[in-house]
Amino acid sequence: MTGGGVAGGAVAGSRRPSLGAGVAAVYAGQLSRARVARGPLLFVATLQSLGILLLLRGVVHTGHVTASAVVAGSTVLVVAFVALNLLAQRFGALRASGALDYYAALPVPAAAVVLGTAASYATFTVPGALVTAVVGALVYGLPLAHLWLALPTVLAAGVALSGVGAALGLAMPRPELATVAGQLGMTAVLFLGVIPPGNLPAVLRVLRQAVPSTYAVDALAAALRGTPTWGGVLWRLGASLAYGVVALAVSGALFRRAAAR
C-alpha cells in the first residue's frame, strides 16, 4: 500500500469526498474510539491542571499578572495533555503498526485524516479546560467578565497543539520516541505558559515565542486581568491558529510520506 491511496484511493470513476466531508467521517470514527479509550486519561488531565492551580495558589501573592498567567497556562495545559501527549502517542502507534495503510486507502485527503483525528481528541478537552478556567478565576479572585474568551482560547490552542502533536507522532521512527517528544512538548507548554513572560530569562522569552500555545495563553491571561486589548487578543489568537495551520500542513505531508513507505 502506498501513499497514493490518500491522494487518489477512490474507486475509478467515483467522486472523492470534499475535505470537510472527509474530516467529518474521520472525526466520527475517531470520536467513538477516543471516547472509550481516552476518557479516564482526559479526566486525569483536568485533575492535573486543577492540582497545579491549587498548588501554586499557596505561593502566588504578587497580583493579577502572575495569577492570570497561572490560570491561563493551566487551562491550556489540559489541551496540551491531549493534543501533544495522547495525539503523538496515537500517530506514533499508527505509524509503527503499519495501520496508516488503512487510512491511506480511504478516499479522503491526508489532511482530513490528520485534522479529523486531532479534532476528535481535542473535543474532549473543552469541558475540562473550561472547568479549569472557571475554578482558577474563582480561586485566584480574578474578574469573570471576560471569561468567555476561554472557549476561543482553548480552540485556538487545540488547533495549534494538535498539529504539533500529530507531527511529532508521525515524524518519530518509534512510538516510544513519539511519547517522549509529546511529554517534553507538554512540559514546555506548562512552564512557558504558567510563568509570566516578564519573569523569564531573555533566552527563554525568545524560546517562548516559538511555542504556539503561548499566544493563546497570553490572550486568555489578558482577559483574566479584566483589561484586555481586543486588537492584541485577536492578534494572539490568530497567531496561534496560524501556527496550527502550518503544523497541520506539515502533519499531512508527514502522513503521506509515512504511508508511502
**Residue 73: phi, psi to the nearest 5?**
-65, -40
Between residues 46 and 34, the one the model is more confident about: 46
Q: What phi, psi does 164 have (nearest 5°)? A: -65, -45
d(CA 85, CA 21): 27
Please report which confidence band the pLDDT of residue 4 belongs to, taking 50, 70 and 90 as the band edges: very low
DSSP secondary structure letters along 137-182:
HHHTT---TTGGGHHHHHHHHHHHHHHHHHHHHHH-SSHHHHHHHH
Instruction: Average the pLDDT over 187-216 and give the result.
Output: 90
* Full-model pTM: 0.85
Distances (CA, A) of 52 to 59, 108, 189, 195, 213: 11, 41, 13, 12, 18
Range in 60-74, 138-152, 170-184 the model is least confident about: 60-74
Instruction: Report which of 95, 89, 85 is spatially closest to residue 125, judged by C-alpha positions.
Output: 85
What is the predicted pLDDT for the residue at 177? 92
